[in-house]
Amino acid sequence: MLYDKAKIFVEGGSGGNGCISFRREAHVPRGGPDGGDGGHGGGVLLRCDPSRRDLGALRSKHFRAERGHHGEGANKQGARGEDTVIPVPPGTQATSVDGTLIDLTQPGQVAVLARGGRGGHGNKRFSTSVRQAPRFAENGTTGESGWVDLRLKMLADVGLIGLPNAGKSSLLARLTRADPKVADYPFTTLEPVLGTIETPDRQVVLADIPGLIEGAAEGAGLGHEFLAHVERCAMLVHVVELAPSEGEPLANYRTVRSELAARSTGLEDLPELLVLSKSDLWTAEDMADHLEEWDRELGGSVLGIIPVSSATGAGLDKLREAIVRFVPAQVEAPVVASAGGVEVDFEAEHLTYRPRGEDGYSVEREDDGAFRIHGHGIEVLFERFDTNNEEALAYLETRLAEIGVMAELKRAGFESGDEIRVGELEFELY
């Protein structure tokens, strides 16, 4: 069974805490602070691995990266936490915890699902001419975490589409070395099957997509589960049976086209080659009449109309040559964009940490008289320091005054000794 969906929980490692330390050596009076910084937490990454077939190994799993090591005395910085790397097959799409769209198509590509937290600064960092012996340091911040949905869209050049039992699996088996299940009843194909047409100059990958039925785009039948797999194709080969057990050939063709259009992802705009299957059931004169009728109905809307027979092999060489001729030699890679429309930078050998936008702040007086400060940047600032440490609180007050929060509190009616709330923290500020 092909597992083309997975939902996983990812959690970046927390940053290590900064160290509070003072240099203590014989004959070195007043050595001063020498607490080192904590290491950054590891991230949870996706890596495109061509040896992977599907997402079956990722069902209902949790992935956590290592936290950063704490800083130490003698200005020793804590080690960075190890990343957790998740191998996925080419064609995997996901949305990271911060909303970035990820699309892995090339072997070796790496993208970040959840970033680790930043390490805290040691007390050496807070030493100034007027604060020569700081007895506080920063805590590391927590890493990003959340549930992530993964979706696999198979990388194929050509998608074989059509109603159930139209002859797609038999056609794939004759055109390539694939071995799909073939039987004389509908829905024998329960998952996409890939095959390759090889020529001296190139390879073309074909995907047999399970049969579509009317209403597939809304969830009817099996086809809607696999329409995503043809979204990457450069062209479609539409297989139509001339003597179907149900319906008329032209009506069946239009049913499938309607489902492609209802998908609203541009599938209906892909170049299409029409294949009339099971041509061995008709005489040459009847087949000529059929070709004339289909050409009259479709005109120039298709690349060509080719009758074939998987049983006798008639028309297969012509079809194989047409597929190779019409599929572009270079298919453009899909555009990968973040929620803001900016291209994603795939992480290669290092991670770049950038502070998240603070998005401003606001002060609100609650019903019980306490003051709540809203704002991501302010919450991170308080997360970094121990509010039970008087020196740390004094530093925080200085930072709040520099940012303008203290002035905003006073405008809201704050007085010394009132209770302040930031996130889940509650304390009195004097």
How does pLDDT run across 350-361, given as a tens digit for each residue? 444 444 444 578
Q: Does residue 204 sit in the same domain as residue 270? A: yes
Query: Does residue 351 belong to any structural domain of this protein?
Result: no
The alpha-helical segments, DSSP class H, found in 30-182 are 168-175
Contact 229, 4 (CB under 8 A): yes
Give yes or no: residues 174 and 232 share one domain.
Answer: yes
In a domain, 66, yes or no: yes
**Euclidean distance between CA atoms 122 and 147, whole angstroms:** 33
Q: Give the CATH number, domain containing residue 214.
A: 3.40.50.300
> Which is nearest to 259 in space by CA: 283, 238, 243, 244?
238
Q: In the prediction, which pLDDT does 346 show? A: 40
Q: Which of 326, 350, 379 is the last residue of a domain?
A: 326
Amino acid present at 38: G
Residues contacting residue 131 through CB under 8 Å, at least 6 positions apart: none
Q: Are 128 and 259 part of one and the same domain?
A: no
166 with 143, same domain? no
Q: Are residues 15 and 86 in the same domain?
A: yes
At 213 the pLDDT is 52
Please report whether residue 139 resides in a domain: yes
And the tokens for 356?
């998240």
CATH number at residue 2: 2.70.210.12
258/196 same-domain check = yes
Out of 102, 118, 152, a domain closes at 152
What is the DSSP pairing of strand 371-374 with strand 419-422? parallel
Residues 6+ positions from 269 with CB-CB distance below 8 Å: none
Considering the domain architecture, whether residues 164 and 305 belong to the same structural domain is answered as yes
User: Which residue in this structure is represented by tokens 């969830």?
Assistant: 219
Tell me the residue range of the domain where 400 lies.
362-428
DSSP states of 98-129 = TS-EEEE-STT-EEEEEPPPPPPPPGGGG--S
Where are the extended beta strands (E) located within 41-80?
44-48, 61-64
Tokens encoding 123? 């007390």
CATH code of the domain covering residue 393: 3.30.300.350
Measured between alpha carbons, how far is residue 3 from residues 140, 175, 195, 361 in Å? 38, 25, 18, 44
Residue 337 lies in a domain: no
* Beta pairing, strands 145-152 & 5-11: antiparallel
Per-residue pLDDT, 334: 44
What pLDDT sits at residue 336?
38
Count of structural domains, the chain: 3
Decide: 307 and 318 in contact? Cβ < 8 Å: no
Give pLDDT, residue 349: 38
Distance CA 279, CA 264 (A): 33
Q: Where are the alpha helices (DSSP H) in 77-229?
A: 168-175
Do 250 and 298 lie in a common domain? yes
Question: pLDDT of 380-412, one tens digit each?
Answer: 888 898 888 889 988 988 888 898 988 999 999
On whether both 208 and 194 belong to a single domain, the answer is yes
Residues of the chain with pLDDT below 70 are: 1-2, 178-191, 211-227, 263-264, 330-359
Q: Is residue 343 part of a domain?
A: no
Query: 362-365 and 371-374 as β-strands: parallel, antiparallel, unpaired?
Result: antiparallel
Whether residue 335 is contained in a domain is answered as no
Q: Helix 168-175 and helix 316-326: axis angle, to 10°?
A: 80
Q: How far is CA 49 from the centre of its chain?
A: 15
- Residue with the two structure tokens 């997975």: 6
Residues 196 and 233 in one domain: yes
Shared domain for 233 and 89, answered yes or no, is no
Cβ-proximal residues to 199 (8 Å cutoff; 6+ apart), any chain: 324
Tell whether 322 and 381 lie within a shared domain. no
CA 409 to chain CA centroid, Å, is 42
Where a domain ends, among 301, 326, 351?
A: 326
Distance separating alpha carbons of residues 322 and 254, to the nearest angstrom: 23
The helix (run of H) or strand (run of E) holding residue 407 is: helix 405-411
Relative orientation angle of helices 390-403 and 376-383, to the nearest 10 degrees? 160
The token pair at 57 is 């190994």
Main-chain dihedrals φ then ψ at residue 297, nearest 5 degrees? -75, -40
Concatenating the DSSP letter of every residue in 302-314 gives SSEEEE--TTT-T
Question: Coil, strand, or helix at residue 363?
Answer: strand
What's the pLDDT score for residue 191? 64
**Parallel, antiparallel or unpaired: strands 110-114 and 44-48:** antiparallel
Alpha carbon distance 407, 75 (integer Å): 36
